[in-house]
Structure 1
Amino acid sequence: MPITPPFQIRKECPPGACVCERALLENDPQADLRVLRLTRDEEKRLIERIEAIATYAELMRLSQRLEEQLGVRLTIAPGPNEVRTVRGFAIELSPRPGLCRKTRQSVPAAVRRCLDAHPDIAYAILNAHDLLGQL
């Protein structure tokens, strides 16, 4: 018997359209349902907020809030090859049951747009990973 949480949850994706494994959450009474709080409207607001970020500190705070509120880890790191553009960064949300495939694509895309708009954030990420060294 599925559990009904006390908050509004994301509508289920059409069968076969997503690989979110939502059924694993709904059938487990001990499951962490926080990720289902990210409704489509909330996702749109999240994307807008990510695109409006202007500093590295704001980006790190948003990443921390995603983990606290939804249990989802956002990782942003230089990719395995050269980083000449923001495409060289590895940006991803940790896979987790209930996290929609579209969300796993749209959040990193929004972060890339943010980095395009604010190259100083990209430099701060590189510096945090000690790729710029003591220049």
Structure 2
Amino acid sequence: MLQLDFPIRKECPPGACDCKRELLLDVAQADMAELAILRLTKEEEKKLIARIEAAQSYEELQRIGVRLQQNLGVALKIAPGDNEVRTVMGLQIELTMRPGLCRKTREAIPAAVRRCLRNKPGIIYAILDAHDLFGAV
């Protein structure tokens, strides 16, 4: 059995998730860097969700995305959808799929971003502007 000196996320009930946690633990014996994603325990996930919801600007959301990439190897993508954007639901908010990333986490983080955007519509305009939707004609 693999011995770790840090807490890792508890396994999901059988059949409830497609995170491939067990496979990751087997492979990770050779590469400890792959286990970084499992450091996102449920408590840490709650802190991350709260931080996302409290973001005050698009730049702050981008910094959170950079930290997710650096610490967990997961990319957060926030971009306008293919069709017109009339509401927050018109934005594409995705996390890259990675072994060890729980299905609930893949749903909770984009939902937290949407709640943040609903509370601070100015961030939506910054996202649209960053993708040149309000750029010079």
| TM bucket normalised to smaller | over 0.9
Amino acid across the alignment from 2:109: V
Q: Aligned partners of 2:43 and 2:134: how far apart in 1? A: 38
TM-score, normalising length from structure 1? 0.95
Q: Aligned partners of 1:103 and 1:4: how far apart in 2? A: 24
Q: Aligned partners of 2:2 and 2:134: how far apart in 1? A: 49
Q: Which residue of 1 aligns with 2:15?
A: 16
Q: Give 4+ residue runs of structure 1 displaced > 6 Å after superposition.
A: none
Whether 1:130 aligns to 2:129 is no
Q: Could you tell me how far 1:30 is from its partner in structure 2?
A: 2.2
Whether 1:118 aligns to 2:120 is yes
Q: 2:68 aligns with which of 60, 66, 85?
A: 66
Query: Unaligned stretches of 5+ in structure 2?
Result: none
Q: Secondary structure at the match of 1:6?
A: coil
Equivalent residues, number: 134
Q: Aligned partners of 1:95 and 1:4: how far apart in 2? A: 25
Q: Could you tell me how far 1:6 is from its partner in structure 2?
A: 2.2
Q: Which residue of 2 aligns with 1:39?
A: 41
Question: 1:88-107, aligned counterparts within 5 Å?
Answer: 88-107=90-109
Q: Aligned partners of 1:124 and 1:50: how far apart in 2? A: 16
Identity of aligned residues (%): 60
Q: Secondary structure at the match of 1:98?
A: coil
Q: Could you tell me how far 1:5 is from its partner in structure 2?
A: 2.7
Q: Give RMSD over aligned pairs.
A: 1.2
Q: Which is further off, 8-17 or 23-32?
A: 23-32
Q: Which is further off, 29-38 or 87-96?
A: 29-38
Query: Unaligned stretches of 5+ in structure 1?
Result: none
Whether 1:50 aligns to 2:52 is yes
Q: Aligned partners of 1:25 and 1:4: how far apart in 2? A: 14
Q: Could you tell me how far 1:121 is from its partner in structure 2?
A: 0.7
Whether 1:30 aligns to 2:25 is no
Q: Which residue of 2 aligns with 1:109?
A: 111
